[in-house]
């Protein structure tokens, strides 16, 4: 393993579309959504342990989740868990990590990845990640992973790439498109040169900092004057002063969609951003009638294509339901048609208006 290779696992999101399992105080990255015996962040952490030294893996999360990270990732060094004082999206998160690493290791290469994505084929994923690190180690490039689309998903971002390779299995990016309409998504897939944006980025730390300086100078000016305080006793106080001034913006909008040195590697390793109950259903084993079930005491009578997630100690009998999401927690029961899952965020807002924060 290369001592100059680092991973930043971004674990600060709320995951409101997985409500009622995912709550503000315990979001989806810390849950075993698929019933595999490991939470999403544990699976992510284990993948990267095969790629970089343990001491080079960092988790950046909200202050309120630090104790959960410590509990779920017992062997990660405590100083490698970074606390964000507020949620400001991925650009400030990546800037924080990049400036911290630059001071520690000016030759650092970094992978920045979400904590809550699903990867079914770890070996293929590791090969892709190594190829990405090798490419950015030799060229000033900001690299992302593009996943071959299997259906016209309207919840993902799409990337169009050049047809001529810049290096073996590496292509220059032409355009980014966020969450297209269904018709546009179908057009993208038919064209053959659009991929899903997996949101997994690889770059030299000094190159992403240079890109932030060029394309998001206000963010750069917040971090750069304070760079000597990182990795010292002043870091926490410094971050608490910087974050309230940061714009809430993704690294995609801040840098990737503006830069002219963005590349991608097309990959296929059983990826899903696991953003919705339907995406969980897509990636789970199903019974003869298409039901995906987490829960040891579920009885199904004439029910089809349902996503079921209930406690092991509760007997649940389903009869006559079709294409439904059924999620039971200690204080909330959700029964929702699968084709309405994009509206779960609206339902959560309605719960907040009528019941306050108790069930969120």
- Check if the beta carbon of residue 159 is closer than 8 Å to that of residue 267: no
Q: How far apart are CA 264 and CA 301, in angstroms?
A: 47
Phi, psi (rounded to 5 degrees) for 229? -90, -10
What is the rounded distance in angstroms from the CA atom of residue 308 to the CA atom of residue 318? 9
Neighbours of 314 (CB within 10 A): 12
Q: CA 304, CA 307: separation in Å to the nearest integer? A: 9
Rounded CA separation 24/34 (Å): 19
Beta strands in 27-87 (DSSP E): 57-62, 81-84
Instruction: Give the pLDDT of residue 150.
Output: 82
**What single DSSP character describes residue 264?**
E
Instruction: Give me the phi and psi of 89, to 5 degrees please.
Output: 75, -170
pLDDT for 281-291, tens place per residue? 999 999 999 99
Of residues 100, 187, 102, 204, the one with CA closest to residue 152: 187
Which token pair is 27? 């979001």
Give CA 355 to chain center in angstroms: 29
Lowest-pLDDT choice from 36-50, 271-285, 293-307: 271-285
* Percentage helix, strand, coil for the chain under 3-state DSSP, each rounded to 5: 40, 25, 35
Query: pLDDT tens digits, residue range 234-247?
Result: 999 999 999 999 99
Asked if pLDDT for residue 129 goes beyond 90, the answer is yes
Q: CA separation (Å) from 109 to 12, 63, 90, 140?
A: 22, 26, 18, 11
Calculate the average pLDDT of the chain.
93
Report d(CA 84, CA 82) in Å as an integer.
7
Where helices occur in the chain by DSSP H, the ranges are 40-49, 66-72, 90-104, 122-136, 182-191, 205-215, 217-223, 235-242, 251, 277-282, 344-355
Q: What is the pLDDT of residues 107-126, one digit of tens each?
A: 999 999 999 999 999 999 99
CA 39 to CA 119: how far, in whole Å?
13
Percent of the chain with pLDDT over 70: 100
On the 0-12 / 13-18 / 19+ scale of CB atoms within 10 A, 186 is middle
Q: Are 44 and 36 in contact (CB under 8 A)?
A: no
pTM: predicted TM-score of the whole model, two decimal places: 0.93
Answer yes or no: is pLDDT of 48 > 90: yes
| Residue 292 clears pLDDT 90, i.e. is over it | yes
Q: φ and ψ at 353, to 5 degrees?
A: -65, -40
The pLDDT score that the predictor gives to residue 154 is: 79
Could you tell me where the beta strands, DSSP code E, fall in 295-351?
A: 298-301, 307-309, 316-319, 324-328, 333-337
pLDDT at position 298, please? 95
């Amino acid at each position: 393993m290369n001592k100059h290779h680092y991973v930043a696992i971004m674990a600060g999101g709320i995951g409101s579309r997985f409500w009622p399992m995912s709550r503000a105080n315990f979001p989806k990255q810390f849950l075993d959504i698929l019933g595999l015996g490991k939470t999403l962040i544990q699976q992510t952490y284990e993948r990267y342990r095969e790629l970089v030294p343990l001491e080079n893996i960092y988790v950046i999360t909200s202050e309120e989740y630090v104790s959960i990270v410590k509990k779920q990732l017992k062997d990660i060094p405590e100083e490698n868990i970074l606390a964000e004082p507020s949620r400001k999206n991925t650009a400030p998160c990546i800037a924080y990590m990049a400036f911290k690493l630059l001071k520690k290791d000016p030759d650092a290469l970094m992978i920045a990845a979400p904590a809550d994505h699903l990867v079914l084929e770890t070996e293929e994923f590791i090969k892709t990640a190594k190829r990405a690190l090798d490419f950015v180690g030799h060229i000033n490039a900001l690299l992302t992973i593009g996943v071959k689309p299997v259906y016209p998903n309207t919840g993902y971002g799409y990337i169009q790439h050049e047809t001529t390779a810049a290096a073996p299995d590496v292509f220059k990016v032409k355009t980014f498109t966020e969450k297209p309409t269904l018709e546009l998504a179908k057009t993208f897939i038919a064209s053959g040169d659009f991929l899903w944006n997996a949101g997994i980025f690889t770059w030299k730390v000094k190159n992403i900092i240079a890109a932030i300086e060029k394309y998001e100078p206000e963010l750069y000016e917040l971090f750069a004057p304070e760079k000597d305080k990182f990795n010292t006793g002043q870091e926490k106080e410094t971050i608490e002063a910087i974050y309230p001034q940061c714009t809430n913006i993704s690294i995609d909008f801040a840098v990737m969609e503006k830069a002219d040195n963005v590349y991608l590697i097309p990959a296929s390793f059983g990826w899903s951003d696991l953003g919705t109950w339907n995406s969980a259903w897509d990636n789970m084993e199903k019974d003869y009638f298409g039901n995906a079930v987490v829960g040891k005491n579920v009885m199904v009578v004439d029910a089809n294509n349902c996503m079921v997630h209930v406690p092991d100690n509760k007997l649940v009998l389903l009869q006559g339901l079709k294409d439904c999401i059924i999620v039971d927690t200690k204080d909330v029961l959700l029964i929702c048609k699968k084709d309405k899952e994009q509206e779960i965020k609206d339902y959560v807002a309605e719960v907040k208006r009528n019941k306050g924060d108790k069930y969120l």
